[in-house]
Structure 1
Amino acid sequence: MKLQPLFLSLALALSLTAAPASATSGAGVAWQAAAADSDIDRYFTQAKAEKKPVLLYWGAKWCPPCNQLKATLFNRADFIEQSKAFIAVGIDGDAPGAQKLGTRFKVRGYPTLILFSPAGAELTRLPGEADAAQVMQVLQLGLSSGRPAKAVLADARAGKRLSANEWRLLGFYGWETDEQQLVPADQRAAVLAQLAKASDGVDAETATRLWLKSVGALAEGKTADAAGLPRLRAVLADPAQARAQMDVLTNEAPDLVKAFAPQAGEARNALVAEFDSALKRLNEDATLSRADRLNALQARIELARVDTPHADPYPKNLPAALLDQARDQAGRAHREISDGYERQAVVTEAAYLLGRAGLWKESDELLKAALARSHSPYYLMSQLAGNAKTQGRKAEALRWAEDAFNKSEGPATRLQWGANYVAALIELSPEDAPRIERAASQLFTEAEKDPGAFYERSERSLKKVATLLAGWNKTPTQAATVGRLKAQLDGVCGKLDGSDARAKSSCQGLMKKA
């Protein structure tokens, strides 16, 4: 979910009664926990013997979009019933070998959902940002097709005839979590545009979805073909079409507006007004989840400040009615939601959109009020740190960042939260070498005990720390600090299993720049 505030950038219970770290049965889905290659191999052997596909879920306890999946998809009766047709495997990102498994399956972001054939071939990646009912349809398409999305894509690009269901499989593929499995990132927009054109006349909804995604992917400051503007306006004006493309419209709203109306002025204002009407309907649509409705409200806020620099914390001239709606819907979310997983998804999003509206006091109050009821309060503490930093309260920002690190749980999560604490220290208190050294040293100590520290998310966290230290290393005191940390890390590298050449190479390369 593009607008969802993943941790300063983006052990989830996967059934009604239990967490993914243990297999479950009964009313919920019988998720099997995987923490090492041997677990995965065992489940694939089981799948082959039972002639069942495998659905692999990669997530984390704190992750808001992961909690949103659990609150809207994993607890659906039809999903639970459908799960009997496959082997459900849950990978908790903080399990001992989880980050190494991330390398094996080419997954980086939480959440990622991958469907495999009984023989172990990757069929498709499911779109975690779509509406739960749409994800269910794609899951069923993947289960019934049995053809890998890679093969379907190859046929589509070769001009071969595809069925409407095969086009839908491509339209609802998890392009945001593809990790270049189907298409290199720099070619994705062009490929999506090609697919949109080829699918036109076969399945209108899919063709529109692919087209919208291609324009959104091309955006980032680029201008779209003006000939497509009537098509966008038709989608916005049609409630059924807008509902079907809900996730694309809410996540890509600012990019789509800027692509078709690159200059501030009447044309842009008119398109923003049309977009706002569609988003307002989505925000009021009771058939959508509360998180999806809030996402539509957040998109309205982003469009209201479309001519305000993104980093400006205090947008001017936002409509008073829009601010009132932000306050009201955030407050109701806090008061009314009792499910802990939905709260983690919705309250964090509500706090983020309040900040984007410039309502920092309300955002702070919401997060503080929600701390005691969160199963991952350190995530909310990180948001409070970001809020304080944005408002110029440096000491408070560092206190919250330190508290978030101290309260964080799980090896990969602690390395990620610790890396962000080091980043906050170097940015906000660069003269405090002892504090920076203590924080970085603690991370290296924890990395020494974590067999997956030099893979995927954990590796990226450690690389972040090393890069930050390299940029900070400018004075004799700083150089001495970095020297001691390098010596410590050298010791960690020396204790690594010699048979794991990848981990050893990653470790040894960390502090070279510093």
Structure 2
Amino acid sequence: MSFRFRLNHGAAAALLAMSLAHPAIAASSATGPSVAWQAAAGDADIERAFAQARGEKKPVLLYWGAKWCPPCNQLKATLFNRQDFIERSRAFVAVNIDGDLPGAQKLGTRFKVRGYPTMILFNADGAELTRLPGEADAAQVMQVLQVGLAGGRPVKSVLADARAGKPLAANEWRLLAFYSWETDEQQLVPPAELPGMLTQLAVANASGEAATTTRLWLKALAASNEAKGLKPDAAVRDRVMAVLADPASARVQMDVLVNNAPAIVQTLVAAGADKKALLVAFDTALQKLQADTGLSRADRITALGARVDLARLDLPKDAAQVQAQMPAALLTSLREHAARDDREITDGYERQAVITSDAYVLGQAGLWAESDALLKASLGKSHSPYYLMSQLGSNAKKQGRKDEALKWYEEAFNKSEGPATRLQWGSNYLTALVDLAPAEAARIEKAAAQLLTEAGQDKAAFYERSARSLQRVGAKLNSWNQDGKHAAALKRLQAQLDGVCAKLDSKDAQRATCEGVLKPSGKKT
């Protein structure tokens, strides 16, 4: 399973450099008070939280996550346990939606949240002020809360005024620059329009705060898909090179740079930038971030991972001999970094976040043995070992070890917990079965039947992430039966699914989703 974490907490420096008003960052405390999260698993829970918010004249912070999710665990390890965050939480109503609670996926549909983790700030009347991605750091969250507590406007209104050419306050430009466009889910703009819109904002703020304008340009470059959206001119290329050459500026923009290094490089090169000079400048800046002990371990491994991604740019994605083509110094640095993380990290939340990232980057660099060893040694230390088992399955699959891959994917599914998680892990297992062992018809049908049985036991199985997991199952089964050889199995599964769908209220949006799960793509219903 390929994954790329956005675990960046370096944006704190950006906000500090911009002199934003926020409480002093306090050290986390293992004891003492904690955030009074209210668990929400249905509309009634949400309405109760907003009623409280209106009565107390407070905003609402909604956090959507899952037990296994590495970036979620990073938030728990570095943000939610901080004394300053805990103290500020008294000024808002804190709502936690665990994706595996009954009804949680229906709430995901209501709030249009997909990726774990997502944090959304609402005013007391339910208007969305802004949304934050998983890389949100303490200072960023504190600033957004500050805006909310001060009666800040919804980002939708701010964006409309910016696009209409109306003047904005400096904090409103920052709100746009730090908004989680990656998890916008088309709330404000369709993905195809994002590069142009960000470019428009960067141009409009040309005379404003330099760091804010630079962040908008960097995000536009990252979203441009090799210059198909934005064609940067020499001035933009010079701006990027200046950021990379200045450690303080690179730290300010750290989260955008480390998460989007390949995309930014490819967009600039497609528009005429000197690739060699750009790669050297990027690697130099990333090395400094990797070595910055003032950053979280998650930030530092992400910076190192970006270096590996850049080193792989000209290699085939499935290059079997990646390790042999990697710079020796980079491999040494990666081995030492992963060993140090494994040795030093004792917090369970942080281990789930960082060690999984270390293992992924080791694999990206072709260090498969080291990646496997790290994951296997960490199984007993993880509160969600099935996540690590999936990584082991992915490692084995990429190396062509089919039987081993299926063993790990099956074990990950068997050990997974929670209805939404089990459907997701089951979808992964079935996909691996069809890809690696298509002739094992009985095994494939058994896995699919089990997933449909579990879907029938989950009242929210055809909403949001769970629905997408089941839709992936349906699409994979239809591709497996493309030649019609497995029509009998599909017929039996369809009959089972019909029984599940029949129990859903015809007025429930889930009914139509359920009925379409096994329909071949494009088939009318």
TM bracket (short chain): over 0.9
Which one-letter code corresponds to 1:424 in the other structure?
A
Whether contact under 8 Å (2:59, 2:148) holds in the other structure is no
Among 444, 455, 459, which residue is 1:451 paired with? 459
1:278 matched to 2:285? yes
Which residue pairs with 2:70 in the alignment?
64
1:293 matched to 2:327? no
Mapped partners of 2:484, 2:478: distance in 1: 13
Q: Encode CA deviations 1:9-49: one digit per residue, 9 max, x unaligned.
A: xxxxxx988xxxxxxx9611000000000000110011001
Which residue pairs with 2:382 in the alignment?
374
Which one-letter code corresponds to 1:297 in the other structure?
L
1:372 Cα offset (Å): 0.3
- Listed as ranges, the matches of 1:217-256 within 5 Å are 217-220=223-226, 222=228, 224-227=231-234, 228-256=236-264
Mapped partners of 1:132, 1:298: distance in 2: 23
Among 302, 313, 318, which residue is 1:311 paired with? 318
Q: Encode CA deviations 1:271-308: one digit per residue, 9 max, x unaligned.
A: 10100010001001111100001000000111112111
- How many residue pairs end up in the alignment? 497
1:196 Cα offset (Å): 0.9
Mapped partners of 1:450, 1:301: distance in 2: 41
Instruction: Give 3-state SS (helix, strand or coil) of 1:403's partner.
Output: helix
- Shift in alpha-carbon separation, 1:89–1:211, aligned structure 2, 3 A: same
1:199 Cα offset (Å): 1.5
Whether contact under 8 Å (2:6, 2:135) holds in the other structure is no
The farther-off stretch of 364-373 and 131-140 is 131-140
1:381 Cα offset (Å): 0.3
1:327 matched to 2:340? no
Which residue pairs with 1:12 in the alignment?
none
Whether contact under 8 Å (1:389, 1:397) holds in the other structure is yes
RMSD, aligned α-carbons: 2.0
Which residue pairs with 2:123 in the alignment?
117
1:313 Cα offset (Å): 4.4
Whether contact under 8 Å (2:6, 2:134) holds in the other structure is no
Whether contact under 8 Å (1:16, 1:28) holds in the other structure is no
Instruction: Give 3-state SS (helix, strand or coil) of 2:97's partner.
Output: strand
Q: Encode CA deviations 1:295-324: one digit per residue, 9 max, x unaligned.
A: 000001111121112232432431111101
Q: Encode CA deviations 1:391-427: one digit per residue, 9 max, x unaligned.
A: 1100000000000000000000000000010000000
Among 371, 395, 416, which residue is 1:387 paired with? 395
1:229 Cα offset (Å): 1.1
The farther-off stretch of 222-231 and 385-394 is 222-231
Mapped partners of 2:397, 2:126: distance in 1: 47
Which residue pairs with 1:402 in the alignment?
410
Whether contact under 8 Å (2:227, 2:268) holds in the other structure is no
Which residue pairs with 1:510 in the alignment?
517
1:188 Cα offset (Å): 1.1
Whether contact under 8 Å (1:301, 1:353) holds in the other structure is yes
Instruction: Give 3-state SS (helix, strand or coil) of 2:96's partner.
Output: strand
Instruction: Give 3-state SS (helix, strand or coil) of 1:218's partner.
Output: coil
Which residue pairs with 1:192 in the alignment?
198
Q: Encode CA deviations 1:170-228: one digit per residue, 9 max, x unaligned.
A: 11111111111111221111111111111222221111101100011012464732411
Whether contact under 8 Å (2:41, 2:102) holds in the other structure is yes
Whether contact under 8 Å (2:359, 2:375) holds in the other structure is yes
Mapped partners of 2:428, 2:243: distance in 1: 40
Which residue pairs with 1:439 in the alignment?
447
Whether contact under 8 Å (2:123, 2:148) holds in the other structure is no
- Listed as ranges, the matches of 1:77-88 within 5 Å are 77-88=83-94
1:83 Cα offset (Å): 0.6
Mapped partners of 1:62, 1:357: distance in 2: 24
- Listed as ranges, the matches of 1:420-499 within 5 Å are 420-474=428-482, 477-499=485-507
Mapped partners of 1:324, 1:30: distance in 2: 44
- Shift in alpha-carbon separation, 1:226–1:3, aligned structure 2, 3 A: farther
Mapped partners of 2:302, 2:446: distance in 1: 39
Instruction: Give 3-state SS (helix, strand or coil) of 2:520's partner.
Output: coil
Mapped partners of 1:380, 1:498: distance in 2: 39
Which one-letter code corresponds to 1:4 in the other structure?
F
Q: Encode CA deviations 1:452-485: one digit per residue, 9 max, x unaligned.
A: 1000000000000000111111456511111111
Query: How does the TM-score come out when normalised to structure 2?
Result: 0.91
Mapped partners of 2:306, 2:484: distance in 1: 48
Q: Percent identity?
A: 63
Mapped partners of 1:53, 1:230: distance in 2: 41
Which residue pairs with 1:139 in the alignment?
145
Instruction: Give 3-state SS (helix, strand or coil) of 1:30's partner.
Output: coil
- Shift in alpha-carbon separation, 1:474–1:77, aligned structure 2, 3 A: same
Mapped partners of 1:2, 1:396: distance in 2: 20
Whether contact under 8 Å (2:233, 2:271) holds in the other structure is no
Whether contact under 8 Å (2:85, 2:138) holds in the other structure is no
Higher-RCO chain (CA-CA 8 Å, sequence separation at least 6): 2
Which residue pairs with 2:4 in the alignment?
3
Mapped partners of 2:179, 2:478: distance in 1: 39
1:69 Cα offset (Å): 1.2
Whether contact under 8 Å (1:5, 1:348) holds in the other structure is no
Whether contact under 8 Å (2:58, 2:124) holds in the other structure is yes
Mapped partners of 2:300, 2:356: distance in 1: 14
Mapped partners of 1:275, 1:294: distance in 2: 15
1:364 Cα offset (Å): 0.4
1:136 Cα offset (Å): 2.5
Mapped partners of 2:311, 2:484: distance in 1: 48
1:418 matched to 2:437? no
Q: Encode CA deviations 1:104-126: one digit per residue, 9 max, x unaligned.
A: 00111111100000111110002
Q: Encode CA deviations 1:74-123: one digit per residue, 9 max, x unaligned.
A: 11111111111100000000000000000100111111100000111110
